[in-house]
Each structure stands twice: as structure tokens, then as C-alpha cells.
Structure 1
Amino acid sequence: MTRDADKKAQDLKRYLSAFHGIDPRTRATLDVMCRVRSYRAGTTVVRERETAEIVGCVLSGILRMQKTLVDGRRHIVGLLVSGDLFGRVYEGPGEFSIEAATEAHVCTFPKAEFEAFLKRSPDLERAVMLNILNELDRARDWMIILSNQKISSRIAGFLLLLRSRFASLDDLVEEAIDGTKVRIPISRTDLAQLLGTRPESVSRALHALQDDGDIRILEPNLVFVRNFHALARKAGEQDIGGMSSVKDILQEEKRKR
């Protein structure tokens, strides 16, 4: 398979993951509507308080949902990854801007057409609802992570979340006999904004986890996790990313030992 063909196959897999279980005829209609767009890192996809004309599905890369505060500071309130939908159907302006945190490919649908089709397609409506529920689950995860006073505990929770909810992203997680490599897929600045702190505090927190023997920093955006049990304790909650998935991770770590 050529690189282009492989990329198309991967994009199709992600596209289908957002619309899992829908009727083939429904999917065929969506295929006709879909227009694939590419965004460079830093590009705005939808502006804050803008009534967007599209509904989108992330194929690859990461988008950030961002809010401008009263004092002008910008705060990242969530991430969108492959298979995630965005765009307010049946609603007006969105409260957040959506920007490309990395190079990203997105399948976009004209909003009016998508809404009209949604009204007559119960299977599509179900797929959209499930996607919304998944996003709510992730929002709950962020609340748990941000409730920690220590930045090192927030980093621990974020690494646990990457290993559980985001493990299906390309090249994000690599298992080894004595641990797990986890790639942090966003910039240090974006990570700081996401966790409600400063980039230098993120750096200190990562080194604190390394000093405790929980991780080893291989590169600025790549860490080797030695002990997920310790990260779960520091995060203060083993339910980050879903109780069953985190339990599976910890059981797997036990077997490695």
C-alpha cells in the first residue's frame, strides 16, 4: 500500500469511527456531503461567537477549543482528536474558538444540509448523540484533573488520560517490557493553558515526576512512564479516562512486573 493510500485508509477509519453503526445509505449520503480540509498548526477553524456554516469531523491531528477571558488571556478548555465531531447543530454562535493545535485534516459538512439530513436519519442522530456523550465524559475527566492543587498531579492525570482515552491516536503510546512511552501531542504552551498553569510550571512538574521515579523524560514531548500506579495515586482518582480502561492499564502494568 502506498503512503497516500495508507493515509486515505487511516482517514476513512477515523471518519467511520465518528459514525459507527449507521446505515450504509446514510454513510453514502454523508460521503457526498463531506469536503476534506487541511489546517496548519495555529490556523483558526471556527472563531469564537461565530455562527459556523460547517459541522466537522476530525480525521487526523488535534484541534483545541479555546476561550478568551475578560482580561484577554486565552484558555484551552478541551481537545478534539480523530473521530470527534464539532459544530453546534440547531444552535447559534459557539462559545469557544476552534483552532488547529497541530497540522490537522478535517471532514466538513455544510451545516444546513447536515441538520436537514439529521432530522430524517435516526441512526445519524444516535451517532451524533454518542459523540456528544463522549465529549461530556472527557469534560468530566478535565474537571477531575484540574481539581488537583499540585501541577505535578495534573500532569499525572493528563498522562493517564493520554494512555487511556487517547491511546488510539497515531504514535501516541508505545508499550515496552518495563514501561510505556507516551508522546505529548501538543505544545508545552498549549499544555500549560489546558492545565491552567504556565509552561515553566509544566517543566518543573515533569521533572518532579521524574525525580520521584514515576517517569523518565526522553524528549520535551516524549516521556517514558515507569509507574502508572503512582500516577493514578498522584492524580487522586483512578476513574480518569473511564474506570474500566484505567483498571486495565494498572492490571497490565502488574503483569509486566
Structure 2
Amino acid sequence: MRNDSGHGAADALATIPEIADLPDEIRAELKTICRIRRFAQGQLVTEVGDTNEMVGYVIDGILRMQKTLPDGRQHVVGLLVAGDMFGRVYDGPSPFAIEAAADSEVCVFQRARFEALLARFPELDRLVLLHFLTELDRARDWMVVLATPKVRGRLAGFLLMLCTRYRNVGHLFGDADGRLTIRIPIGRPDLAHLLGARPESVSRAFHALADDGILEILRPDLVAIRSIEDLAEEAGEPELGDGLTVETLAQAAGGAGR
């Protein structure tokens, strides 16, 4: 872990839209207690059972939440991307470990000082509550994905979640000649853990979706989505595809310079 960073505290906080919209007084208080830390891929951010003396936001990179099963296997239970909050406010030990899935930069606050600000500023307290509600929504969506019996359906659900719940994470999306491209933010072994499948099964699922014209494999970590509607149907969640098209998502990605 390194404390030096390309972002200063003020710059880092400005990259988090919800915090950037807070009143100047609150942002000034947050700046005084903010520390920027960098974690190399594979480094632990917090361990299982940590009392979590810090809370923070992901500024850049990907963090994975994982639990160790009784037989020693590690199971990825979720991802944290730019703008996501981590750490347990007003709570005890962490039930899972958090590890950098890629080189990552985070903005951290000493928990007691952050909690003191929550008590002083209702706007900040509301922001944390909204984060928890968003996290709960993601967990519910993920339960639906994992209930899909076929691996290709689970993979489609994962890609659909990237297009919906994570659509504001700029570096994951791009526009290639009007096609929406998605960079898979974790490696195949981690993705297999996340989907409850074997890596070879995930690879077959990618190729099956490609053979059916739902996506195009550009690289092992990069795909182009041909039909959001078909992706949603494959995931068993057609309503999540309502109002979304490859064209509009690709235009949004291109318009943001991605």
C-alpha cells in the first residue's frame, strides 16, 4: 500500500459526484480528514474480522469483496468500483475481506471522525443511507442473477448489471463504431467465482453468447454488446433492458470521452 497518489484530497473528492454536490462546508470538512491510498493488484485493503477503523470511496480501479469458505476456497461476493463506498459505519468487524482486483486508488477517512461528521451534517448522513440502499439493490439484483440455472444466463446477467448498475463507471465502457464495448473488470478466475462456475464454463458461455449474436468477443477482457434486449432476455430480466439500447449507451460512452 502506498500513500502517494496522482490525486490530491480535493481532486479525489471531486471525482465522486455525490460528494462533489455537497455544500462547500461539508466538502471542506471531508477534505481535512481524507487520505489517499493506493493498493497494487492483489493487496488486501481490509481483512475478515477487521474492526474497520476506516471507511472510504474507490477513486480508481476495482476492489473485490471475498469470503473464505470452510474448505479454504475463496469466493468473490461482490465488486467495488469508482464511486462506491466501503467500510462499515456504526458497526463491528467486517464479514469479508476486501482486496484490490486491479491497481486501485481509494480515498479513506478515519471512521470515528467520519461518524462525527455524519452526526453534524444530515446531508452527509443521507448520502451514506442512499449508498446502503444502492448496495442493497445491487445485492437483490445479484441474487436474481445467481438464481439463473445456466452459466450463460448468469454471465448475461453480470454484463447487464454492468450496463445498468455500473453504467457511470467511465473506464468500463466505450464506443467502437456505434457499438457498446464493455471492459470486463476482473479476470476469468474471479469472474468464475462470482458466477459460481468453473473458468472453462465461463469461457464457453462467452462463446455461446457470441455464437448467438448477442455479443462479440474483441479480447478476453473486452466485448462488444450487439443487443441489450437480447442480453436482458438471456439473463431472464427483460424489464432491465427496457429503454436501453446499444446505440444510446454507446453514444453516452463516446460523449464522455470513453
* Preserved contact between residue 225 and residue 246 of structure 2 (Cα < 8 Å): no
* Preserved contact between residue 229 and residue 250 of structure 1 (Cα < 8 Å): yes
Looking at structure 2, the residues matched to 198 and 95 of structure 1 have their Cα atoms a distance apart, in angstroms, of: 25
Q: Deviations over 1:199-231 (max 9, x none)?
A: 111101101111112111110001111122111
* Preserved contact between residue 42 and residue 99 of structure 2 (Cα < 8 Å): yes
Please list, as runs of the form range in 1=range in 2, the aligned pairs for 1:123-162 lying within 5 A after superposition. 123-162=123-162
Structure 1 residues 214, 10: CA separation in 2 closer, same or farther (over 3 Å shift)?
farther
2:163 equivalent to 1:163:
yes
Looking at structure 1, the residues matched to 97 and 23 of structure 2 have their Cα atoms a distance apart, in angstroms, of: 32
2:242 aligns with 247
Looking at structure 2, the residues matched to 165 and 20 of structure 1 have their Cα atoms a distance apart, in angstroms, of: 20
1:194 aligns with 194
Structure 1: runs of 5 or more not aligned: 1-5
User: How far has the Cα of 1:170 moved from its partner?
Assistant: 3.1
Deviates further, 223-232 or 28-37: 223-232
Deviates further, 156-165 or 103-112: 156-165
* Preserved contact between residue 58 and residue 105 of structure 1 (Cα < 8 Å): yes
2:33 aligns with 33
* Preserved contact between residue 41 and residue 104 of structure 2 (Cα < 8 Å): yes
1:238 aligns with 238
Give the SS at the match of 1:108.
strand
Structure 1 residues 251, 72: CA separation in 2 closer, same or farther (over 3 Å shift)?
closer
* Preserved contact between residue 62 and residue 82 of structure 2 (Cα < 8 Å): yes
* Preserved contact between residue 178 and residue 226 of structure 1 (Cα < 8 Å): no
* Preserved contact between residue 46 and residue 99 of structure 2 (Cα < 8 Å): yes
Question: Structure 1 runs of 4+ off > 6 angstroms?
Answer: 6-10
Structure 1 residues 150, 26: CA separation in 2 closer, same or farther (over 3 Å shift)?
same
Structure 2: runs of 5 or more not aligned: 1-5, 252-258
Q: Deviations over 1:86-130 (max 9, x none)?
A: 111111101011111111100010111111221121111001001
* Preserved contact between residue 66 and residue 77 of structure 1 (Cα < 8 Å): yes
Looking at structure 2, the residues matched to 148 and 20 of structure 1 have their Cα atoms a distance apart, in angstroms, of: 38
2:255 aligns with none
User: How far has the Cα of 1:178 moved from its partner?
Assistant: 5.3
Residue identity in the other structure for 1:249: L
Looking at structure 1, the residues matched to 11 and 191 of structure 2 have their Cα atoms a distance apart, in angstroms, of: 26
User: How far has the Cα of 1:192 moved from its partner?
Assistant: 0.8
1:59 aligns with 59
Equivalent pairs: percent with the same residue?
49
Looking at structure 2, the residues matched to 83 and 234 of structure 1 have their Cα atoms a distance apart, in angstroms, of: 29
1:14 aligns with 15
